């Protein structure tokens, strides 16, 4: 699986949009971009994933550049409960069976009042 690079930490004011960047310059054509987060001591929580088109769900939006070498996770109105470590993961699919996720060190997002 391709490696990802994320800033180790970010701050965001409550109510503002949180934009979390991720570089995955060696991504292959059959690799998806997944985002998870881990709130202190809980299990990782799935947020969103995409291949090449931008995606939106009730939690967040995922913007993937046209060359697919980077992406941005957007939390449109951050709250204190969004304080967590956010992981950007690329995952190969299409090999005939579901594949594992490889977690990096992520971005620690601190949402402040």
Partner 1 sequence: NAGVMQNPRHLVRRRGQEARLRCSPMKGHSHVYWYRQLPEEGLKFMVYLQKENIIDESGMPKERFSAEFPKEGPSILRIQQVVRGDSAAYFCASSPRDRENSPLHFGNGTRLTVT
Q: Which residues bind partner 1 (CB under 8 A)?
A: 32, 34, 38, 41-46, 49, 93-106
Distances (CA, A) of 95 to 15, 34, 63, 91: 41, 17, 25, 11
Closest distance of CB 113 from partner 1, Å: 26
Instruction: For partner 1, give the closer residue by CB, 26 or 102.
Output: 102
Q: How far is CA 112 from the centre of its chain?
A: 20
Closest distance of CB 13 from partner 1, Å: 27
| Contact predicate 20/78, CB 8 Å | no
Instruction: For partner 1, give the closer residue by CB, 43 or 66.
Output: 43
Instruction: For partner 1, give the closer residue by CB, 14 or 52.
Output: 52
Closest distance of CB 108 from partner 1, Å: 12
């Amino acid at each position: 699986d391709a490696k990802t690079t994320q800033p180790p930490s970010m701050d965001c004011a409550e109510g503002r949009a949180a934009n979390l960047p991720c570089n995955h310059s060696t991504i292959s054509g059959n690799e998806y971009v997944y985002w998870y987060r881990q709130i202190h001591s809980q299990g990782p929580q799935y947020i969103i994933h995409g291949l090449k088109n931008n995606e939106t769900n009730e939690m967040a939006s995922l913007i993937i550049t046209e060359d697919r070498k980077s992406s941005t996770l957007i939390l449109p109105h951050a709250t204190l409960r969004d304080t967590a470590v956010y992981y950007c993961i690329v995952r190969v699919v299409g090999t005939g069976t579901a594949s594992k996720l490889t977690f990096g060190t992520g971005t620690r997002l601190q949402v402040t009042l």
